[in-house]
Amino acid sequence: MAGALRSRNRRDINDVNSSDSVLKDEPTSDIEVYAKEVLRALINDNLPPTPNNFSLYFDRLLEEKSEHMRKQVVSMLELDDGNDDKTIVLEQSLKQGFSSVKNILGITASLYKNMALMTKILDKKKEELKESSDNQSVVNIVSVLEGDISKLNEILKKQSSQMKELYDETAAVVKNVENETIFDNQYGVYNKRYLLSKIAQEVSLIQKFKHKSSLIMIELDRELKASVKNEKAVILMTRTIARLLLKTSRRSDIVAHYGNGVFSMLLKHTDIDSAKRASERLCELVSNSNFFLGDREIQLKISIGITDIDAELSVEEIVVYAMSGVEKAYTNLNVDFAVVLSSGETSKTQI
């Protein structure tokens, strides 16, 4: 009886290619209809339906759906995604621990300096007592006290040395971990190292499967930064840009801080036209976001460079093309982003 129930409730994996396969079953929900559509798109594009490819197409095709459908799917994904990024949490904990160790060493050094100062004071007082009093007992008491403090001082020196050794060992471990980190704590996105590794990975995938992907570089408007003349305010505005990038990106996009306030988004399975549309949405989102500096209201503005991921180029060359787009966008005040293709072609788009 139990076996019969199992046969009715569970589909045999060998039945996938049968007449009642998954793709031919009558859909029971909107999400199931959409999932089948994603699977068909992968098969039509001659891509293996791996979990990674399915996730990429799942996000890409969702952009073409109605707002109601997108909200429905996103809300379901938020409920489904209950796991935190353990790697990022680990990195943050390690850095916090490293900071604590530095504080401990700083306190120890301070205690050592204070004890050394106390020793000097006692030496001075001892000399004064010798000059101003013949009371030998007072001198003896000070001598005993001096001996005790000297012993304590030696203990502190030994402990301080041990603390330094522990600190150096911990610093070396944390430095090794830091060299392998993927997260930028300052802006809450991935770091340059992770970005470059993902671009290299995408180049390899394009060589094999011949799909199209794009890279965009984003920078806060330089004239805006120059006009603010407040380093802390510029950092806050740049952090705002980072949050907006995360807000507008798909789950499959890689949002990273390339360095010096320049951000990057790796758009997988995304051609140049789709990258342009993504850049338009991002520019519009940023332009509608105002930043307040005291009584002054500042309208945020960015410049974007777009390029395609060419499997024949190195990672560095691809990044250079994208950054060239940023530079070209700056040359025209009426342009928010520019496209520089790996073929050498250049186009500018006015928002």
Q: How is the chain split into domains, by residue range?
A: 15-78, 86-178, 184-350
pLDDT at 26: 57
> CB pairs under 8 A, 24+ apart, for 152-161?
152/115, 153/115, 153/116, 153/119, 156/111, 156/112, 156/115, 157/112, 159/108, 160/108, 160/109, 160/112
Supply 279's token pair: 């850049």
Hey, which bits of the chain come out as E strands? 183-184, 189-190, 214-220, 254-259, 262-267, 290-293, 296-299, 302-308, 335-340, 346-350
Prediction pTM value = 0.69
Is 61 exposed, middle or buried (CB count within 10 Å of its CB: 0-12, 13-18, 19+)?
middle
26's tokens? 């009558």
CA–CA separation, 212 and 307 (whole Å): 11
- Integer-rounded Cα Rg, in Å, for the chain is 31
Q: Cα(51)–Cα(271) distance, rounded to whole angstroms? A: 21
Q: 10 Å Cβ neighbour count for 264? A: 27
Would you identify the CATH topology of the domain 184-350?
Alpha-Beta Plaits (3.30.70)
Q: What is the pLDDT of residue 8?
A: 35
Residue found by looking up tokens 């001198």 in the block = 139
Question: Number of helices (H) and strands (E), helices first, in the chain?
Answer: 11, 10
Q: What is the model's pLDDT at position 346?
A: 66
pLDDT (0 to 100) of residue 288: 92
DSSP 27: P
- Whole-angstrom distance, CA of residue 223 vs CA of residue 201: 35
Tokens of 330: 């700056």
Phi, psi of 336 (to 5 degrees): -100, -25
**Segments of the chain scoring below 50 in pLDDT:** 1-22, 82-84, 350-351
User: What span, in angstroms and rounded, lies between the C-alpha atoms of 224 and 236?
Assistant: 13
Phi, psi of 24 (to 5 degrees): -100, -10
Give the angle 333-336-339 at the CA atoms, nearest 5°: 115
How is residue 163 written in tokens?
A: 């603390």
CB burial readout 47-56, b (16+ within 10 A) else e: beeeeebbeb
Question: 232: how many CB neighbours lie within 10 A of its CB?
Answer: 9
pLDDT of residue 18: 39
Would you say 301 and 286 are in contact if contact means Cβ atoms under 8 Å apart?
yes
Task: Using DSSP, state whether 306 is helix, strand or coil.
Answer: strand
What is the model's pLDDT at position 159? 77
Q: How far is Cα 345 from Cα 310, in angstroms, rounded to an integer?
A: 13
User: Which CATH number is associated with domain 86-178?
Assistant: 1.10.287
pLDDT at 27: 52
